[in-house]
Structure 1
Amino acid sequence: MNFTSSVSAVEDDALEESPVSAQIQFCNVTKMYGTVTAVNDLCLAVRRGEFLTILGPSGSGKTTALMLLAGFESPTRGEIFIAGNSVAAVPSYRRDQGIVFQSYALFPHLTVRQNLEFPLEMRGMVAADRAKRVERMLERVHLKDFGTRMPSQLSGGQQQRVALARALIADPPFLLLDEPLGALDRNLREQMQLEMKNLHKEFGITTICVTHDQEEALTLSDRIVVMNAGRIEQIGTPEALYDRPATRFVASFLGEANILENPGFKVEFEGTPPSGTVPMIRPERVRITAPATPQRAESNQRQSVSGIVQDMIYAGPLRKYHVRAGNSVLVVREHLASGQQVFQPGDEVSIDWLNTDIRFVVA
């Protein structure tokens, strides 16, 4: 068993031992479009009540996986189970799910209130009960005074709130989010991330989100599934995936990574690295100083190398340096602080890190 598959096995074992049951399961699901394999032998269990994000670049198979679960696509091979029942013969409109698309897909000819009433009317709820539930939901998403407006009269953030409210109003057993914040600017995305996190905590609904946005995945998720070329690269909590990526792809896609393969200097570390792996360190774990800076007390546990600054990038709350050391260009990221020395391209510097901050990833 290679290092990647052993990580997946650990995740599978943890799920089996968990007292929380799996609500959704993909069992050896493959989806092909002609000769192109979009999803390849996908095995995934989603725990009841968790917020799970499927993260990956374009073409990784993440959206196809969501469309298969939603019933908009059918597997070429394999089975999908919801609450223990196969949904192979269940059409999308009978899967009792809430869905939010990147485009929001609000009915443009209906008011906000009518958009929220629609799924309740389809379920046969009487008008008086519909009205009460809609008013409660409008208040919950801070749109109490917007019920008579048309979608075209709303901002992007307001439309997103309406789409979320419509998906949640009928109390579906699970919620599917397809790039839900992709159409918003950065400030609105951050606001909606907090809103979605609060809504998930309040409703406790099982949520599967598809995105290519790393920050979104790290902020919202209980677990993250990183996909690449139709397959799962790694599954884990945000902390586990960021701090202990299994593969070079996960390390580089989920944040930035300094891959120390043939760096031109000996890399010191603790323990024995797994076979077929290369060392890696995150940019924020690397310290940059002037060459004559006194060593820290734990200097015997740190590795220090000399380098030349190639670039300095000011990015608001932090600075990012590109430092050539040996055969490598390492990224160093430090948060701004008063009295901090600023280095410029061409400056000689020393960079150092704790040996225990070195991680090993499958090459």
Structure 2
Amino acid sequence: MYPAAMRTLSASAATKVLEREPPGGKVLESIASPQIEFRDVTKKYGAVTALTELSLSVRRGEFLTILGPSGSGKTTALMLLAGFEAPTNGDILISGRSVAAVPSYGRDQGIVFQNYALFPHLTVNRNLEFPLEMRGVKAGQRIGLVERMLKRVHLEEFGERLPSQLSGGQQQRVALARALIADPPILLLDEPLGALDRNLREQMQGEIKSLHREFGKTTICVTHDQEEALTLSDRIIVMRGGRIEQADTPEALYDRPANRFVANFLGEANILDSSALGEQQNVAPGTVSMIRPERVRISQANAAPLSDQDQRHCVNGTVEDTTYAGPLRKYQVRVGSLSIIVREHVASGQQIFRIGDAVRLDWLRADVRLLTA
């Protein structure tokens, strides 16, 4: 499948490797219009519906992440955009042109897979040369482009190595370099950091952000990793059951989730129960109240009230579990029938609570969010 995606596109595609559109050219004229559009796209596999009437627009230069649990339809959406699958109904447009019937090798996109999909029998240099060769770029030009790209991803000394001689992070850099070297307008990332350990993932997140700022590619990333999505994205789509639950900026999604599913999927959420908290909440039928764990303050049960105590809601509880995670400490506090999560940054001189301690929890009423249940 992958070699077919790298086949030659057209003679004009080769010129894009060496030249970008000049200022004031066609790219800038269409910057306000969506570069990618899904129009009521449905995808079925026999009796199973993977996507249901998906409508989505992606701006030129935007970094969009599609986030969701297994089976949500996020990978199906990416495979449709890549041209590896065809929609059952609906249409997909790139720069205003329908590509629903265009094969993968005719879409001029760079693709990075979770397993990197590097050619194991080719050196790093040859892996990067391959997409240029398929586009008809001359050998002398290919060498210069490969050298510059390897320098950009800090692998200039590894050109003659085989992929098996590289670490996971180095292989990921080669995969990114190969996807970018032919200057495609769109970059697709399929769980790009899923095979890396935590430290490498954090390093590569920074590298991907840097490459996106430098090259300005319209980037679609599919992942199930919430931290990765929050770190990398201009906008996030949260999916469930083949449909979009919410689409917004990372900040808005985390701070103002549309419903209980989004709140629980994107981080941790305390769903508040008025009967357990001992106060009447003005909550409409079909909605619930939510507070994020880092918005809850924990203190001794007999602690002096804060200066803004009249703006806070207070409850008493008992610590039933604690977790230390380096920069963060998490408590689970029993309040009536509820177990409320508290997350605070570890600081010098900070009071540490133990299991069984009586504590007071409080939070600003303004930090409580009403969600669709």
TM exceeding 0.5: yes
State whether residues 86 and 101 of structure 2, in contact with CA within 8 Å, keep that contact through their aligned partners in structure 1.
no
**For residues 98-117 of structure 1, what are the alpha-carbon distances to aligned partners after superposition, in whole Å with 9 as ceiling and x for unaligned?**
00000000001100000000
- Which residue of 1 is the match for residue 348 of structure 2? 338
The whole-number CA distance in structure 2 between the counterparts of 1:276 and 1:265 is: 19
The 3 A distance-change label for structure 1 pair 351 and 19 is farther
Q: Does 1:131 align with 2:143?
A: yes
Q: TM-score, normalised by structure 1?
A: 0.93
- Which residue of 2 is the match for residue 31 of structure 1? 43
**For residues 11-31 of structure 1, what are the alpha-carbon distances to aligned partners after superposition, in whole Å with 9 as ceiling and x for unaligned?**
xxxxxxx97321000011111
Q: Does 1:244 align with 2:238?
A: no
Counterpart secondary structure, 1:121: helix
Q: Does 1:291 align with 2:295?
A: no
State whether residues 268 and 303 of structure 1, in contact with CA within 8 Å, keep that contact through their aligned partners in structure 2.
no
The whole-number CA distance in structure 2 between the counterparts of 1:302 and 1:72 is: 53
The whole-number CA distance in structure 1 between the counterparts of 2:74 and 2:33 is: 23
The whole-number CA distance in structure 1 between the counterparts of 2:32 and 2:286 is: 35
Give the AA of the match of 1:335. Answer: H
Identity over aligned residues, as a percent? Answer: 71
- Which residue of 2 is the match for residue 41 of structure 1? 53
- Which residue of 2 is the match for residue 111 of structure 1? 123
Structure 2 counterparts to residues 250-265 of structure 1, below 5 A:
250-262=262-274, 264-265=276-277
Give the AA of the match of 1:98. Answer: G
The whole-number CA distance in structure 1 between the counterparts of 2:33 and 2:300 is: 54
Counterpart secondary structure, 2:276: coil
Q: TM-score, normalised by structure 2?
A: 0.90
Q: Does 1:277 align with 2:291?
A: no
The 3 A distance-change label for structure 1 pair 19 and 92 is closer
- Which residue of 2 is the match for residue 200 of structure 1? 212
- Which residue of 2 is the match for residue 15 of structure 1? none
Structure 1, unpaired ranges of 5+ = 1-17
State whether residues 303 and 352 of structure 1, in contact with CA within 8 Å, keep that contact through their aligned partners in structure 2.
yes
The whole-number CA distance in structure 2 between the counterparts of 1:273 and 1:198 is: 44
Aligned with 1:326 (options 300, 322, 336): 336
The 3 A distance-change label for structure 1 pair 154 and 243 is same
Cα offset, 1:327, TM superposition: 1.6
Give the AA of the match of 2:200. Answer: L
Cα offset, 1:261, TM superposition: 3.7
State whether residues 274 and 280 of structure 2, in contact with CA within 8 Å, keep that contact through their aligned partners in structure 1.
no
- Which residue of 2 is the match for residue 84 of structure 1? 96
Q: Does 1:310 align with 2:320?
A: yes
**For residues 182-236 of structure 1, what are the alpha-carbon distances to aligned partners after superposition, in whole Å with 9 as ceiling and x for unaligned?**
0000000000000000000000000000000000000000000000111100000
Counterpart secondary structure, 1:337: coil
Aligned with 1:57 (options 61, 64, 69): 69
**For residues 48-93 of structure 1, what are the alpha-carbon distances to aligned partners after superposition, in whole Å with 9 as ceiling and x for unaligned?**
0010000011111000000000010111111000100111221011
State whether residues 261 and 279 of structure 1, in contact with CA within 8 Å, keep that contact through their aligned partners in structure 2.
yes
The whole-number CA distance in structure 1 between the counterparts of 2:103 and 2:33 is: 24
Cα offset, 1:273, TM superposition: 5.3
Structure 2 counterparts to residues 339-354 of structure 1, below 5 A:
339-354=349-364
State whether residues 31 and 60 of structure 2, in contact with CA within 8 Å, keep that contact through their aligned partners in structure 1.
no
State whether residues 319 and 336 of structure 1, in contact with CA within 8 Å, keep that contact through their aligned partners in structure 2.
yes
Q: Does 1:300 align with 2:313?
A: no
The whole-number CA distance in structure 2 between the counterparts of 1:309 and 1:54 is: 37
Structure 2, unpaired ranges of 5+ = 1-29
- Which residue of 2 is the match for residue 359 of structure 1? 369
The whole-number CA distance in structure 1 between the counterparts of 2:77 and 2:275 is: 38
State whether residues 262 and 327 of structure 1, in contact with CA within 8 Å, keep that contact through their aligned partners in structure 2.
no
State whether residues 268 and 355 of structure 1, in contact with CA within 8 Å, keep that contact through their aligned partners in structure 2.
no
Counterpart secondary structure, 1:300: helix
State whether residues 274 and 360 of structure 1, in contact with CA within 8 Å, keep that contact through their aligned partners in structure 2.
no
Aligned with 1:162 (options 160, 174, 177): 174
State whether residues 321 and 331 of structure 1, in contact with CA within 8 Å, keep that contact through their aligned partners in structure 2.
yes
- Which residue of 2 is the match for residue 10 of structure 1? none
Cα offset, 1:276, TM superposition: 2.4
- Aligned-pair RMSD on alpha carbons? 1.4
**For residues 155-194 of structure 1, what are the alpha-carbon distances to aligned partners after superposition, in whole Å with 9 as ceiling and x for unaligned?**
0000000000000000001000000000000000000000
The whole-number CA distance in structure 1 between the counterparts of 2:210 and 2:285 is: 42
Give the AA of the match of 1:44. Answer: L
Give the total of aligned pairs: 344
- Which residue of 1 is the match for residue 34 of structure 2? 22
